[in-house]
Each structure stands twice: as C-alpha cells, then as structure tokens.
Structure 1
C-alpha cells in the first residue's frame, strides 16, 4: 500500500486551519531568509506530533547573488557573495547548508529541497562542482535526513548526468510529474512539486482540472515507491490539494494523508 502525503508549498490559510486539514507542508520562508531557531521550535510545537515539515533550502546555496530573489534577504550575508549559489562547494555555501541543517533539526524535518534555477550552467565544470558539493553535503547531513534536488532549465533535461549524480550520492530527484518522471527515488520516496500546466516550466496561475487529477492518479500508480509527497505550488494550491486528497482517497492501493 502506497502512502501519499498531499500538501502545499507554504501556508495558503492559517497554520491552525492547515494543520487540521493536511499532514505536510513545504516551508517557503526558509528559502528567502532563514528563520530563527526559536520560531522553528514554536511552529513545530503548534503542529500535531505526526505533522511533517519539509523545507525549501536557503536560496544563497542554490541561487547566485544576481538573482532577484536575493532582494528579499533581510540579514547580512557573510563572506564573498560571488561564491554563493549554483551548489558550488565553497565555504560560503557549505556554511549556509549547515545553518539549513540546524533549522531542519529544530523542525524535525525529514526532507530538504534544493531547487536550482534555470540559469545554472550545464558544463563539465558544473558537473564537477555539483559532484563535490553533494559529497560534502552528504557527509555533513544529519542521519536520516534526505537531501532532494529539483533542477530547472537545461539541467532538468540531462537525464543521464542527473541519474549518475543522484545515484552516486543517493539524492532524491524532484520533478513535476506532469512534465517528467524522477530518475532516482532513494528509500522508497517520491517527491513531486506541481507548478501548473502550460507551455513554460511554471504556470502558477493554473488551476488543475478533474481530468488533470485523474491523469495524476494514473501516474502515481506507476512508480515503485512507498511514500509519496505531492506538493502544490500554484495560486490555487489549497483548493487543488484538498480536491486531490478527496479524489485519491477512493483509489485502491493508496493511503492518503
């Protein structure tokens, strides 16, 4: 029996209401500016014991300082800003990753999401530095923590290279299942982030249809996994996540939470 955890990327309603309706959330504020540890402990204590927090890793690790998202950073960034982002194995990135692990520990997080931008170059050099980054990340990571990666742009299309890197370091591959299948799912885990359907990779204003959900149900029936995370990341994520929960509850072979 496959377990499906359905939720949203961020809180579309009050935390109290959300906790009563879903079993998982992917925190987004952790991407823009790392929260204080006392805040993490506070919301962990607010949530039911079985509720799960996944976190989107701090943007300084994945996005360069030229990224417009950096404008939302309130705190002072230490060191050389040019050495941040793109999963480079720099002291700056690895120090930032240590701070992400501290946040994960306070939240009792199982999965950390690294989402790299479409601007990240694909080359022999970038393959080398990403390989070195994951070597360090895996050695630093707390026991039982799963590191997951959602590449965008040209990297998302490099199936062979991705498979080699992900399998080598046992990194969970995140995709939008409406666009592509994951190439590596360690520990029997599946994690999909749904960004809307359209000509481009992302269409946040898209509202999923019943036909879309039925298609997704068939897709989820195919991969061999034990626990799947279906995380909506669109304007209508609250409505869509609730509808999918009710729909898949009637499917055989799924336990939906």
Structure 2
C-alpha cells in the first residue's frame, strides 16, 4: 500500500485535504508553527490522514544556509556557530524538542532529517550523527535520513544502522539502502521545474514495494497535479 501527497500544502488546505491522505509538513523545517496551529490542521484533516514532519533546520543546516532567512527565532553570533551539522548542544536539543512537539500536535510518528549537500560523510560528521541520535529521546517516532552530496551507500548504511534511521530517497536518483519502509521524495528528475510524464509515473509505480509501507511525496513545480495523477494510477492500493 502507498500513501501519496506533497511536500507542503500545494493548494488551499481544504482542497488539499479533499485530494490526498498524506502530507509532509515543510514549515517545521523553516520555522516551526505554534502547536495550536498544527493541532488545528490535525482537526481539519480526515481521521485517516497522515502527517509526516521535516525536522527543524537548526539541527541539520548551518546558519549560513539561505533557508535561515525564514528563521524567526533570534540567534546570537555565538548561537549561529552552534546550529547545524547535528551538533549536540542545548540549542539543538531545544530544536529537537520543538520538532517533536510539532509531531505530537499532528499525531505524526515519522520525522525526516534532510541534510544539505555541504554535510559530507567525513568521520567527524558521521560521529556527530551517531552522537546526536544517541542523546535524544525519539518519542517513539520513526526517523528518516536524507543525505545529499557525495554520500556512498556504504556511508549511509553505516549511519542508518548505528542510529536506527531509515533512508529517504528520490528513487529516480538512488534506491534506499535500508529495508522496510519506503520513503520517496520526488524532487523532479531534471530539477524542481520538472513535470512527471505518465511513463515516469509508471516507472515510479514499479519502484513501490509490494511488501512494505510506501510514502511518495512530490516536491516539484507540478507537485499537486503529479501526485494526483500518481494516486489515480495506483487506484485501490492508495491508503
């Protein structure tokens, strides 16, 4: 079975909730909303609707990232050196607790950690990942790891195995190294402005596991339309 949706609301909420039964929340990455706002989303969605959450960027991204333009939490010059790259300190612990609170407000049990391409598989970085996940309380959530850049399968396998993570991928670029859940993020074969063809959606359908839970979240210019077309292609197999 497969859950299909978009990375973020691609349309007005009421239209989105009517069309799909899953959403990967993006606002939690940029600046986590108030939990009351997220609880309202949960209330407005169908009972069988599933939210997943993207972890706050203070955990994964350095403060020099252009995505920090959307961070509203004030950071001192010292604090700007303490965020990102899975550094473990009071600031990133608080960022995790905020992420977890968002997940709880949405009744979400899957949290994605997307890394910037600058986060390379050095010994220091791999140890930072292991140390971070040893230290936090996961709250019973399933944690997903999406590295970018020059990560080899052996590097990803080591990190996921040590820290109990699941590998999130764009299946048109690589296949997951972990078994079990399939968590696909469709960024566009040629980039964000790519529109998936019917043939490409059929290829994606063939990559959906018949024995494990599948999540397919589109993150391209035509995400709503492509997700709807893929949902129609899957028919009765859609959750």
TM over 0.5: yes
2:171 pairs with 1:183: no
User: By how many angstroms is 1:122 displaced?
Assistant: 2.6
**SS of alignment partner, residue 5 of structure 1:** strand
2:231 pairs with 1:255: no
* Structure-to-structure mapping, 1:3-152, within 5 angstroms: 3-77=1-75, 80-137=79-136, 140-143=137-140, 145-152=141-148
TM-score between the two structures when normalised by the length of structure 2: 0.95
The answer to whether the Cα contact below 8 Å between 1:31 and 1:57 also exists between their aligned partners in 2 is: yes
Measure, in 2, the Cα distance between the counterparts of 1:77 and 1:135. Answer: 26
User: By how many angstroms is 1:224 displaced?
Assistant: 6.3
- Give the aligned partner of residue 246 of structure 1: 232
Deviations 1:26-65 (A, max 9, x none): 1111111011011111111111111111111111111100
The answer to whether the Cα contact below 8 Å between 1:9 and 1:233 also exists between their aligned partners in 2 is: yes
- Give the aligned partner of residue 234 of structure 1: 220
The answer to whether the Cα contact below 8 Å between 1:7 and 1:22 also exists between their aligned partners in 2 is: yes
The answer to whether the Cα contact below 8 Å between 1:63 and 1:117 also exists between their aligned partners in 2 is: yes
Specify every segment of 5 or more residues in structure 2 that has no aligned partner in the other structure, as ranges.
Answer: none
User: By how many angstroms is 1:123 displaced?
Assistant: 1.3
**SS of alignment partner, residue 184 of structure 1:** coil
| RMSD value, Cα | 1.5
2:188 pairs with 1:192: no
TM-score between the two structures when normalised by the length of structure 1: 0.88
**SS of alignment partner, residue 153 of structure 1:** coil
Deviations 1:151-179 (A, max 9, x none): 11113xx2112112212222111000011
What number of residue pairs does the alignment pair up? 238
User: By how many angstroms is 1:196 displaced?
Assistant: 0.4
